[in-house]
Amino acid sequence: MAPSPRKTAAAAAVLLLIILTFESSESRWGYCNDHLSGSYKGVCWGSANDADCSDACFNESIDNYSGKCYFFQCWCYSKCDSKIVAPAGSPIRP
């Protein structure tokens, strides 16, 4: 007996929800000071713009060691041991 389309769609929806939950929480693991980039302009598209995001973060502060795109925004990661005030992040501007 073949699985019903309704059950297949429900299983796909649950799997998608699990993947999205994991992806959204992944950016918070192991980072002390993550903040939106104050200088990156435009939409940040995953691995296609990670290098540009990382460059923007390096140029903002010497304490930033990385930058990654999450949810179409550029996030900078800085060292945990310094007292850094995160720059005011602005919403995405196309």
pLDDT in tens, 31-46: 567 899 999 999 998 8
Predicted local confidence at residue 25, as pLDDT: 47
Fold of 5-78: Defensin A-like (3.30.30)
> Tell me: the pLDDT tens digits for 16-70?
666 656 555 444 445 567 899 999 999 998 888 999 999 999 999 888 999 999 9
Sheet harboring 64-70: ordered strands across?
33-36, 73-78, 64-70
- Res. 4: pLDDT tops 50: yes
In the chain, what are the domain boundaries? 5-78
68 Cα distance to chain centroid: 6
Q: What percent of the chain has pLDDT over 70?
A: 66
